[in-house]
Structure 1
Amino acid sequence: MLELKDLKNNKQYYENAKKLYNTAFPPAERIPFVILYRKAKGSNVTFFAVTQGDEFKGLVYTVWFNDIVFIFYLAVSPDARGNGIGSKILSLVKDKFPNCRLVLNIEALDENAENNDERIKRREFYVKNGFFGAGYNVREYSVIYENMCYSKDLIPVSKDEYTALIKAYLGKIMYYFYSKLSE
């Protein structure tokens, strides 16, 4: 059975999470791991190792604000892919935050992108798991993302709500630089 284990209080899987994070996400999409981990010590952030027994299977990093949970990062270990682990992780997150709307970013579809087939498959995966397009994209640095949401009542997370969540997570100073680099 899969479990979410909080990395704040359990350093057993720290190195596994760091290695997966640094290999699963391209540099343009990564915050330095040390900053990510430090931010996870805050009260509105969870950084989970996903385990099955004692085996590390993946990671999920969430930030919440009011009734919104942002799935900032979700990755499955290469040796565990293709076994429905990603869907099971999403189910665990939904169960962990049952009264919240979930939001996440995926690379926006772009027929000119080298990895557009991968982007299509990723979008189909999230749709299969109950997510829907929020109706807007966001730019973070040089990457354009589509916001996708999950909510029991199908109410999307608005762009203003998403921005407020990011501001709360980053803080005023970091948000200022983030917003300038994302213009």
Structure 2
Amino acid sequence: MGITMEPVSKYRRQVKRIYFDSFPKKDRMPYWMLLLMAKMNHTEFRAFCDQGRVCGFSYFAAVGKITFIMFLAVDSKLRSKGCGSLMLKEIQSLYPENKVIVSIERCDKTVENLEQRLRRKRFYEKNGFLSTGCLLELSKEQQEVLVKNGEFDPQEFSEFFKKYSNGTMNPPIIPIGHEGDLR
């Protein structure tokens, strides 16, 4: 399998289907907004193809020494075949010196889709990501923060958001175990 990274503009319909199949409504931005925001500095919205077939996509931003992957999904028919790992390698090859950060749904024992969340966490751990011991609150949802290629610094991550959003985003970053500090 040889994956190439392509502009989403060539594969909008296929990427949109994967996006809607992969993320629950509460976790999605409107698709048109992704397309619009992909035109911002530092933002990449890419399809990943194998011999012309879209196998997944990623939406990420690179500012300074941080690459933050906001959305990464593989076509449901191609999962567990190595596509996601190849996609992560392609992203990191663009910014080889950067820390790569992802936020994933918490693996809280009370959720209905715990096994799915645990599989996602194992996928990232298999690909070299480590838990940071911190949560990120986005849209009133707390997500666990994982990092690869360096130590996680909450202040540096806050600065990433400020630079990326021109000062409009400053989501709370909370040490795990201090979630009560939010309310």
TM-score range, shorter chain: 0.7 to 0.9
Check conservation: 2:58, 2:72, Cα contact below 8 A.
yes
The CA distance in 1 between the partners of 2:165 and 2:33, in whole Å, is 11
Q: How does 1:1-183 map to 2 (within 5 A)?
A: 1-7=2-8, 11-151=9-149, 154-156=150-152, 158-173=153-168, 175=169
RMSD over equivalenced CA pairs, Å: 1.8
SS at 1:31's partner residue?
coil
Distance change >3 Å, CA 19–CA 125, structure 1 → 2? same
Check conservation: 2:130, 2:146, Cα contact below 8 A.
yes
Structure 2 unmatched ranges of 5 or more: 173-181
The CA distance in 2 between the partners of 1:72 and 1:37, in whole Å, is 14
Structure 1 unmatched ranges of 5 or more: none
Query: What whole-Å deviation, never above 9, does each CA across 1:100-152 have from its counterpart, x for those lacking one?
Result: 1100001111011111111111111111100001121112223210100000x
The CA distance in 2 between the partners of 1:97 and 1:70, in whole Å, is 11
- TM-score, normalised by the number of residues in structure 2: 0.87
The CA distance in 2 between the partners of 1:105 and 1:72, in whole Å, is 7
- Paired positions, count: 173
Runs of 4 or more off by more than 6 Å in structure 1? none
